[in-house]
Each structure stands twice: as structure tokens, then as C-alpha cells.
Amino acid sequence: MLFNSLQFAVFLPVVFAVYWLLRRSLRWQNLFVLAASYLFYGWWDWRFLLLIAFTSACSYLSGIAIAASEGRRRRVLMWLNIGVNLLILGLFKYYDFFVQSFADLFLGGHADGLLLHLVLPVGISFYTFQALSYSIDVYRRTIQPTRNAVAFFAYVAFFPQLVAGPIERASSLLPQFEQPRTFDRPQAVDGLRQMLWGFFKKLIIADGCAVYVDAIYADPAAYGGGALIAAAVLFSFQIYGDFSGYSDIAIGTAKLFGINLRRNFNVPYFSRDIAEFWRRWHISLTSWFRDYVYIPLGGSLVPRARVILNTLVIFLLSGFWHGANWTFLAWGFFHALLFMPLILTGRNRRFRDTVAEGRPLPSLPDVLRMLFTFALVTLGWVFFRSPSISFAFNYIASFLHSGPSPMPWGGHHLILLPALGLMLLVEWVNRGREHGLSRLPHSRGLRWLSYMLLIFIIVAFMQTAEMPFIYFQF
């Protein structure tokens, strides 16, 4: 079920009403959340409910078994659960990729009899990582295992963040399902505001950019360098509006149910270097790799050669997590190259504050740093968006080609470009806050005028066709 669908517009208010009617019974409330989450996920393909239920059961039972064990047995149980979960993820997401790559190298590309052609379950990378973090934390004794199966299954499958994050930790989300929740009107109102801002970024910014990005990437040879650069820039805003918009809708929806999810984006395009960008982009995934891979490998507290290797491993894994294509590995490798000088010179923690904090405008050096970082990130997104590495290199090489073809605007840019300006302005004003609509005019009339303006823009200018979220494929 898509957030930007008629089905969700019916689903959400019904679930909200029944959920709070059940507030006197925590168990029934959690059972209802679990049932609603499975309905939400099964709307796409009910068969994959068995997969998420199996993943949840493995991690739930392994948590209890790990906590009751000591020494080698404890370690074996943890790795057994990790192995089972990664085997499922690898089978559905990476098996055909590796088989086809092997066939291309050694069998002349003939792999038809070996390929499984499995449908990739929506959100499998997200809920698998969420389940894995639980068993690892139990093994580390940073959390105690739960015996509340309903609460645990609801933690893994909670519908707002099920298919595209944020990737939650059991230490934060699971206790919220194990204790009674009361309706908090200010929290719910803030959630609605955050959802509105998320829908604006998805339906106007992301979907609006997609019209031009898809057209130019479909036939880049037909366009000049200026149009190709413009499409690359628009894709930067498309993927940000799409993914951060989803996160805003997910976090805002959770607030309606008295649940707090972690922030996943923190105005990443206002970053002053690549290290700051990665502290602000897809925060839940970045911190997951940091805590469960980078630090166990030794982090930066090892000889320099190991630091280089650890950094490279993290970025390659991050790229490969996104999909079974060499372009994602190339994207990860590109960011590793950008990040390496910062971590080796100890400058990777240079910008940990909010840019221009306490000032309405940034300094000229900060402006130049932000523009340069944005340009590097945009260059990386070309690999992310391209169907192949050769396509990406040809696309980038064509930047210098000056052709007669203009952008295929078609009139939609008359709302898209002002909307992009509005998004950047609103997020700049609220750059130190949780989301774009965290701070609004004190006047009630002006606040409602702001809401009505955004709703009007969404209703009047959204694309007529439902466009799925980009990160659903991951």
C-alpha cells in the first residue's frame, strides 16, 4: 500500500480510530497494530507476509535463546540467526545478480537455467536490518530479550516505517510497544504537519522532478550538456524529496499513534563536506553500519591501512545494500574516495554544528562549501540513477557536450521551480529543527493559510499517476 494512494487515505483514519478505541487494553491495541501492519504490507503481495513473519519469529526466538546461553553457544546462536536472515535477503535480492555476473564472466552470459527470477519483497532490506540489530544487541547485553511476542512482531512490522524506514533499534521502539500509550494532541498535530510536509516533498518535488529526469535518462543522447546537468541536479532533489518525504510521512504517521521514530534526514543538502552529508542523509542506515560493522572492525582506532579498509568496506556495503547492480557499488566507492581524505586527516568531524547557527544567512565560505558538496553528491547520484556503469560514464562525459536540445519542460516547471525554492527556503529556516513545518507563524490565521497553501499546491499540481517511492525497491 502506498502512502500516496486512495487506499491509504481510507486505511489510516480507520486504523487511527480503532487503535485509540482499544487504548484500555495494551495487548489488543498491539494485536490490532500488528494486524493493520500485515494488512498494509500484504496489500502488495500477501505471500510475503510469511517471509516477514518467519524473519520476526527467528529473531524473537533467537533473542530468548541467546540470552539463556553463555560462551561459544551464545555466539553460535547469534551468528545462526544472522546467517538465516542474510541468506533470505541474499536469495531474494542478490542471487540472480551474482549468478548473472558469473555467467557474464565465464559462461558467455548464458544463465537462463540458473536464474530464479524471484520477486524482490518490498522493504526486505529495512525489516531484515531491524530484526538483526535486535539479536545483536541481545548478544551484546545492551538490551534484554522480550517475551512479548505480539510487541516484538509489531516492532518489526510497524506499518509507517515497514517498507522504507527509518531502520529502528529495539532499544528505542520496542519499549514503546511494551508500555501503555496515551493520546497526545500536540504530538498528533505535529505529526499531521510533518506528514503534510512529507507529502509536499513527495508529490510535488520528487514526482515533479521525475517527469524530466525520466525523460532525459531514457535518451540522454538526444539532449545537450546543459539539459543533462539539469537532469542530474533534478534527480538530487527527486531522491531527496522522495526518500525524506517518505520518512516525514512515516514519522508523522507514527506520532498519531503515540509512537516516536528516529529522525532519518537532517537537511543533508546544507552540508559543508561529505562527512557532514553522511551524518545527515539516511541517518538510520549510516548509524546502523557504524554501530554494527565499522566499530566492530576497529573503526578509526586501528592502523591507517585498516582505517582505509574499514571505510571502504562501509561504503561498499552501503552501496550494495541499495541494490544488486554494479552502479550501486560504484556509487559507494565514489563516496568512499570522497570521504577517505577527511577521515585520514581527522577532519571528518569538523562540521557537527548547524550551519549558520543563530544567523539568518550563511557566510560566503559556507555557501561555497555547501555548493561544492552538493555538486559532488549530485555527481555520485548519476551512478545511482544509471542502469549501468558505462551509461553513467557516458552521461558524465556528455556534460561537456553543448547540443541544441533544451530541457523538455512542457510547462510543469512553472510550479516545480518555485516549489523547489519554497522547499529550500522552508528547510533553511527550520534547519535546526525536526522537520520543515516545525516552526510556523504564531498567528493561527497565518498557520492555517500556510497549511491551505500547501494543500492547494499538492491537490492542484500533483501528478495524476501514482508514483511509487524510489526506496521501495530496496
* Cβ contact 208:419 at 8 Å: yes
Residues 113, 22: one domain? yes
* Cβ contact 228:399 at 8 Å: yes
What proportions of the chain, in percent to the nearest 5, are helix, strand and coil? 70, 0, 30
pLDDT at 142 over 90: yes
Residues 114, 72: one domain? yes
Collapsed DSSP state (helix, strand, coil) of residue 420: helix
DSSP for residue 276: H
* pLDDT band at residue 443 using 50, 70 and 90 as cut-offs: confident
Residues 136, 122: one domain? yes
Residues 254, 118: one domain? no
Give the CA count within 13 Å in the CB-facing half-sphere of 255: 21
Residues 69, 155: one domain? yes
Residue 316 falls within a domain, yes or no? no
Q: Which helix (H) or strand (E) holds 397?
A: helix 389-397
Q: Show contacts of 101-110: CB within 8 Å, 24+ apart.
A: none
CA dist., res. 12 & res. 8, Å (int): 6
Alpha helices in 398-465 (DSSP H): 413-429, 444-461
Residue-level pLDDT at 229: 93
Residue 378 falls within a domain, yes or no? yes
Residues 127, 226: one domain? no
CA dist., res. 170 & res. 144, Å (int): 10
Residues 201, 145: one domain? no
**What is the mean predicted confidence (pLDDT) over 51-64?**
95
DSSP for residue 179: S
C-alpha cell at 263: 529522525
Residues 127, 193: one domain? no
Q: Residues for the chain: how many in total?
A: 474
CA dist., res. 435 & res. 426, Å (int): 9
* Catalytic residue (choose from 117, 282, 322, 401): 322
CA dist., res. 426 & res. 197, Å (int): 10
Structural domain that includes position 51: 6-182
Nearest to 194, CA basis, from 166, 228, 157: 166
- Look up 322 and say whether it is catalytic: yes
The separation between the first and the last C-alpha atoms of the chain, rounded to the nearest angstrom, is: 16
pLDDT at 455 over 90: yes
Residue-level pLDDT at 405: 66
Which residue do the cell numbers 539516511 mark?
A: 282
**What is the mean predicted confidence (pLDDT) over 165-175?**
93
Residue 227 falls within a domain, yes or no? yes
Residues 358, 265: one domain? yes
Percent of the chain residues topping a pLDDT of 70 = 99
Residue 123 falls within a domain, yes or no? yes
Residue-level pLDDT at 66: 95
C-alpha cell at 118: 524471484
pLDDT at 128 over 70: yes
**What is the mean predicted confidence (pLDDT) over 398-423?**
80
Which residue do the cell numbers 496515551 mark?
A: 182
Residues 201, 268: one domain? yes
CA dist., res. 255 & res. 191, Å (int): 5
Residues 233, 171: one domain? no
* pLDDT band at residue 468 using 50, 70 and 90 as cut-offs: confident
Q: Which helix (H) or strand (E) holds 413?
A: helix 413-429
* Cβ contact 258:184 at 8 Å: yes
- Per-residue burial over 218-233, b if 16 or more Cβ lie within 10 Å, else e, is eebeebbeebbbbbbb
pLDDT at 96 over 70: yes
Which residue do the cell numbers 480507520 mark?
A: 14
Which of 139, 156, 182 finishes a domain?
182
Which of 138, 156, 182 finishes a domain?
182
CB-based contacts of 185: which residues, under 8 Å, 6+ apart?
A: none
The domain tally of the chain equals 2
**What is the mean predicted confidence (pLDDT) over 108-122?**
80
Residue 1 falls within a domain, yes or no? no
Please count the helices (runs of H) and the strands (runs of E) in the chain. 19, 0
Residue-level pLDDT at 348: 87
Residue-level pLDDT at 301: 85
Residue 334 falls within a domain, yes or no? no
Mean pLDDT of the chain: 91
Residue 317 falls within a domain, yes or no? no
* Cβ contact 455:237 at 8 Å: no
Which of 182, 198, 230 finishes a domain?
182
Condensed to tens digits (0 to 9), the pLDDT of residues 227-273 reads 999 999 999 999 999 999 999 999 999 999 999 999 999 999 999 99
Residues 146, 23: one domain? yes
CA dist., res. 71 & res. 50, Å (int): 32
Residue 380 falls within a domain, yes or no? yes
